[in-house]
Amino acid sequence: MCTDYPLARNAPRIANNKLSENRTAIALSRNAQPVLRRNLIVKNTQGGLFVNGNAIPDLGNTGDPADNIFRDNSEFDLYNATTQKLVSVGNQLNPSLVKGLVELIPASLVAVSNSFSNTSTEFLSQKLSAFPELDEHWAKPFIQALVSMDLTHAFVDGRYQPDKPMTRAQYAALVAIAFNPFPKISAPDFTDVPKDFWAYSAIQIAASGGFVGGFSDVYDGL
26-51 pLDDT, tens per residue?
A: 999 999 999 999 999 999 999 999 99
Instruction: Pick the range with the lowest mean pLDDT from 132-136, 152-156, 189-193, 216-220.
Output: 216-220
Longest Cα–Cα distance in the chain: 59
Print the SS3 string covering 139-190. CHHHHHHHHHCCCCCCCCCCCCCCCCCCCHHHHHHHHHHHHCCCCCCCCCCC
User: What residue segments make up the domains of the chain, in order of their start?
Assistant: 3-105, 110-208
Q: pLDDT tens digits, residue range 49-100? A: 999 999 999 999 878 899 999 999 999 999 999 999 999 988 988 888 989 9
pLDDT value, residue 74: 94
68 DSSP 8-state letter? -
Q: pTM to 2 decimals?
A: 0.50
Q: pLDDT tens digits, residue range 186-213? A: 777 788 888 888 888 888 888 888 888 7
